[in-house]
């Protein structure tokens, strides 16, 4: 059995025919394509020493939610008032009809 040399553990393959450790698709010694990854039995450590901390999404307070809902409500009222005024005939149109 040969030494690992520059083979990374996550890529290391063990030939099931001659027990050679290699990285290629075929064993360099016996040309067999029957292998298993060594990481199956030896756990591979994470590359990063520390994982990044995930920041939780900012939660909205009830006051913030009410303020947003109020703003949407006021905008809806203003829009409905504007539409109502534009659909109502003006006094000049009423005078022409008479």
What are the residues facing 22 on neighbouring strands?
13
Instruction: Give the pLDDT confidence of 25-65 residue by residue, as tens digits.
Output: 999 999 999 999 888 888 877 665 666 777 777 777 888 88
In degrees to the nearest 10, what's the CA dihedral of 18, 22, 26, 27?
-30
**What share of the chain has pLDDT > 90, as a percent?**
26
Residue 96: pLDDT band (50, 70, 90) is low
Distance from C-alpha of 41 to C-alpha of 58, rounded to nearest angstrom:
41
Give the global pTM.
Answer: 0.41
Contact call for residues 21 and 7 (beta carbons, < 8 A)? yes
User: How confident is the model at residue 57, as a pLDDT?
Assistant: 74
Beta-carbon contacts of 39 under 8 Å, excluding residues fewer than 6 positions away, are 9, 10, 12
User: How confident is the model at residue 1, as a pLDDT?
Assistant: 45
**Residue appearing with tokens 């203003």:** 78
């Amino acid at each position: 059995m040969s030494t690992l040399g520059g083979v990374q553990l996550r890529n290391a393959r063990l030939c099931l025919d001659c027990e050679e450790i290699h990285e290629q698709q075929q064993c360099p010694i016996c040309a067999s394509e029957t292998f298993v990854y060594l990481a199956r039995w030896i756990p591979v450590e994470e590359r990063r020493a520390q994982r990044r901390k995930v920041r939780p999404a900012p939660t909205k307070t009830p006051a913030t939610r009410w303020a947003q809902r109020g703003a949407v409500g006021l905008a809806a009222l203003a829009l409905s008032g504007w539409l109502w005024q534009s659909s109502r005939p003006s006094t000049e149109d009423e005078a022409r009809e008479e």
